[in-house]
């Protein structure tokens, strides 16, 4: 049994549009010149939110 194939098969059942959401991140005026989110990732793995600044107005997104 190949675990990688099982993992891929589970996600193949979902439509790509269900997994994509586009948001626009701009500097938050309540945080001096910064984004509320700390982003990490790569082109192959995607981008992930690593940290959300709770003092920012953007933390509700």
Spatial distance between the Cα atoms of 34 and 45, rounded to a whole number of angstroms: 24
pLDDT at residue 13, as a whole number: 55
User: Confidence band (pLDDT; 50, 70, 90) for 48?
Assistant: confident
Average pLDDT, the chain: 66
Q: Quote the pTM value.
A: 0.37
CA–centroid distance for 29 within its chain: 22
Residue extents of the structural domains in the chain: 23-61
pLDDT at residue 19, as a whole number: 57
């Amino acid at each position: 049994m190949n675990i990688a194939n099982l993992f891929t098969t589970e996600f193949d059942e979902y439509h790509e549009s269900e997994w994509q959401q586009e948001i626009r991140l701009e500097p938050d005026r309540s945080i001096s010149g910064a984004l509320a989110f700390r982003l990490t990732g790569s082109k192959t793995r995607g981008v992930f939110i690593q940290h959300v600044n709770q003092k920012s107005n953007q933390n509700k997104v």
